Structure 1
Amino acid sequence: MSTPAQYYQSLPPVSKFYGVACLMTTSALYFDLYDPWNIAISYQDVFKRFQVWRLISNFFFLGPFSPFFAIRLIMIARYGVLLERGPFDKRSADYVWMLIFGALSLLVMAAIPFLWTPFMAGSLVFMIVYVWSREFPNAQISIYGVVTLKGFYLPWALLALDLIFGAPLMEDIIGMVAGHLYYFLTVLHPLAGGKYVLKTPLWVHKIVAHWGEGIQVNSPVQHDPNAGVAFRGRSYRLNGNRAQTSTTPSEQEQGQEQTNNSARQPNSGDGVAFRGKGYRLSGH
C-alpha cells in the first residue's frame, strides 16, 4: 500500500501539474485570496481591459470545494493519468498539445453567446474523459457500484448523472464536442485516408524539453547535447500502435540481412499460409 507521497510522486507530470493547479486554485478561493469572477472568461474584459490572463485562468477553476469538485478532480487523477500512461506514454508534448488544442477549441465555442460558460475547466476535464472513452471503448466501468458499462459510454453516463443531480450540462457538452474534434482530426480522419493536420508544434516540444519533465519519443528537440539524436526510434499513434518512422544504418543492415536469410532459408514458424518444400530453378 503506497503512501500519499508515493502516489503523488508516481503520477505522470502533465496530469499531476493540472490536477495540483486546479486544487491550489480552489484552495486559494477557500481562503478568500481572490474573487473568482476576476479569473472567469470574459471577452469584453480581455479585449477592452487587456485582461488576457482570463483566457488561461478559467481552465484551472473547478468550482469551490464540493462533491462536484471532487468528482472532476478524480476524473483528472483517473482518466487523465490513464491516458498519459497509455496512448500518450512517452509522448508528453503530444498530451500537452491535446490539452492546448482542447482549450483553444473551447475558447472559440465560448465566443458563441449560448455556449458561453464563465469557467471551462470542467469542459476540459470532460474532453479528457471523452478521449479516454474512445481510446478504451471496451474497458469495464462501474458507476457507483450500481451500473457497469463499457468505457465508450462513460461520457454519456456522466452527462446523465449531471442531469439527475441538477448540474449545468453545457460545459459537459462542449467538452465532448472538443474531445470528438480532437479524436476525429488525430485518429478517424487519418485512418480514413486523410492528411494528419494536427501535428504537435515545435514550440510545444521545446516547452516540454525546457520543463525537463516527461519523455517525448520522436521529439524534434534535442534534450541533451550528449544524448545523441533527439528524433529517432519509432513514433506512436494515438491508439497506441507502433509505426516505424526512422531507422538507423545498423537497423537497415539488420533488416537487409534478415531479408537475405529469409530468401535462403525456409520459414519454420507457425501460422504461415503457404508452406512446404521449395525447389530451385535448376531442379536440383
Structure 2
Amino acid sequence: MSEFRDWYQSVPFFTRYWLTLTIGLSLLGRFGLLNYYHLVLDFYAIVNNFQIWRPLTALFFYPISPGSGFHFLINCYFLYNYSQRLEMGMFAGKPADYFYMLLFNWACCVFVGLLVGLPILMDPMVLSVLYVWCQLNKDVIVSFWFGTRFKAMYLPWVLLAFNLIISGGGVMELLGILIGHLSFFLLFKYPQEFGGPALLTPPAFLKQIFPDTRYVGGFGTAPQARVPARPGGTVFGGHNWGRGQALGGN
C-alpha cells in the first residue's frame, strides 16, 4: 500500500485528480451507485432542469461495460501518460497555465458536445491533450501496436484511423484533434509565429490560486518563431501505445 501511495503522490496535481475523478466516477456508474442518465451531457437537462453539474460529470464519467472496458483503460493510460508529461514538462512550474489550458479544452469539448449531441467528453478531452504533447514533441519516435514506429506528430491521426477501422468510430478522435490544434495554435503558434497576443494566458486570480514554482521539467519545448524544428527530444524508453524515444536517441 505504501508503494501505491508513493506512486499516487508522485503524479502531478492536475493529472492526479483528473485520473482519480475519472476512475472513481466511472466505477460508481459501473456498479449502479450513480445513475448514468444524470451524468451525461444533456442540453435540455442543463437549461430546463438547471442540472449544471453535467458538463463536469460528462468529462469524468465513462460508461464501462464489457464492450467498452478496454477502450476506457486505454483512455486512462493516455490521460495519465500525456497529461503527466505536459504538466511536468512544458508546463512545469506553471500550474495555472496548465489548468487554464485544460479549462479551455474542456470548454471547447462542452461547446462541441452540446452542438453535436455528444454525451461523453473523455475521448475528445484526452485526445486534445495528447495532440498538444505530440505537437511539442513532433520528432519523438513512438511505438504502436505490431511494432510500428513513427513520429509523435502522426500519433493522433494513427489513433483516429485505428478507431475508425476497429470500432467504426473516429468522430470523437477527430474532435479531440481539432480542439487540441486550436489550443496549440493559441498557446504557441499565434503569439510566436504570427505576433498575436497570448490569448490563453491565465488570469491573475488563477496565478494567485496556483502560483508559479521554480521547478523546471524537460518533456518537450515550445516551438520557436519562424525557426525550423530540429530532430531530437527526451528519451522515455520503449513501450507500446504511444510512448517513445527521441529520434536518434540511444
Q: Aligning the two structures, in what range does the TM-score lie when normalised by the shorter sequence? A: 0.7 to 0.9
Q: Which has the larger radius of gyration?
A: 1
Return the TM-score normalized by structure 2. Answer: 0.80
Alignment partners' CA distance in 2, 1:109 and 1:203: 27
**Which sections of structure 2, spanning at least 5 residues, go unmatched?**
225-250
1:234-273 matches, within 5 Å, as 239-240=221-222
Contact 2:46 2:52 in 1 (8 A): yes
Alignment partners' CA distance in 2, 1:116 and 1:189: 30
Amino acid aligned to 1:116: G
- Kindly, what percent of the aligned residue pairs are identical? 25
Alignment partners' CA distance in 1, 2:136 and 2:84: 13
**Which sections of structure 1, spanning at least 5 residues, go unmatched?**
210-215, 219-233, 243-284
Using a 3 Å threshold, how does the CA distance of structure 1 residues 44 and 67 change in structure 2: closer, same or farther? same
Comparing 133-142 with 55-64, greater Cα deviation is found at 55-64
The answer as to 2:110 corresponding to 1:107 is yes
Number of residue pairs the alignment of both structures matches = 217
1:205 match: secondary structure:
helix
1:111 match: secondary structure:
helix
Alignment partners' CA distance in 2, 1:84 and 1:91: 8
Alignment partners' CA distance in 1, 2:174 and 2:191: 25
Using a 3 Å threshold, how does the CA distance of structure 1 residues 93 and 46 change in structure 2: closer, same or farther? same
Corresponding residue number in structure 2 for 1:12: 12
Alignment partners' CA distance in 1, 2:91 and 2:23: 23
Q: 1:145, CA displacement in angstroms?
A: 4.7
Contact 1:40 1:54 in 2 (8 A): yes
CA RMSD of superposed structures (Å): 2.4
Corresponding residue number in structure 2 for 1:47: 47
Amino acid aligned to 2:13: P
Higher RCO (CA-CA < 8 Å; seq separation 6+): 2
The answer as to 2:73 corresponding to 1:70 is yes
Task: Provide Cα deviations, 1:100-141, integer angstroms capped at 9, x if missing partner.
Answer: 0001112222232xx321011211101111001101111111
Corresponding residue number in structure 2 for 1:59: 59
Of residues 192, 203, 206 in structure 2, which corresponds to 1:204?
A: 206
Alignment partners' CA distance in 2, 1:121 and 1:144: 22
Return the TM-score normalized by structure 1. Answer: 0.71
Using a 3 Å threshold, how does the CA distance of structure 1 residues 217 and 167 change in structure 2: closer, same or farther? farther
Q: 1:74, CA displacement in angstroms?
A: 0.2
